[in-house]
């Protein structure tokens, strides 16, 4: 009468399949499926502010370029985004004339982009100070 060993102690002929699975699993977690993105947006109307808010709520950074909207619309969008940033405890930083980056909580924006002092005094930003 032969003693039957539990399956974990029996020799396994298909070790190659296990190795293949482990390799696939390792390559899957190598970073190809990023959930968090940096999204570039150029709104054309205030109605697009909701989409920007949705990107932020889904934990994506958003770079917003206001060059396609009027000064009044850009101010309305900025007010809306300031409220969203406050609600999600995020951060916002001006990158240049009419360009801001918004990031949800957990993202850090490091560094500052300085404007040339002569340009600041001789030519005002279309969007005012914000």
pLDDT tens profile 28-83: 333 444 578 899 999 999 999 999 999 999 999 999 999 999 999 999 999 999 99
CA distance 85 to 89: 6
Domains of the chain with bracketed CATH: 38-109 (3.30.110.150)
Dihedral over alpha carbons 67, 109, 80, 47 (to 10 degrees): 50
pLDDT band of 3, cuts 50, 70, 90: low
When pLDDT is averaged across residues 95-100 and rounded to a whole number, the result is 93
Q: How far apart are CA 88 and CA 105, in angstroms?
A: 7
Residue 127 has which token pair? 């969007």
């Amino acid at each position: 009468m032969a003693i039957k060993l539990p399956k974990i102690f029996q020799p396994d002929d298909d070790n190659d399949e296990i190795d293949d699975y482990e390799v696939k699993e390792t390559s899957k977690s190598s970073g190809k499926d990023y959930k968090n993105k940096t999204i570039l947006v150029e709104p054309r109307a205030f109605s697009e502010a909701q989409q920007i808010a949705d990107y932020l709520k889904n934990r994506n950074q958003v770079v917003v370029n206001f060059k396609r909207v009027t000064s009044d619309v850009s101010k309305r969008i900025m007010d809306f985004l300031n409220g969203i940033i406050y609600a999600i405890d995020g951060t916002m930083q001006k990158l240049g004339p009419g360009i801001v980056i918004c990031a949800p909580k957990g993202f850090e924006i490091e560094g500052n982009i300085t404007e040339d002092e002569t340009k600041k005094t001789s030519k005002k930003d279309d969007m005012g100070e914000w």
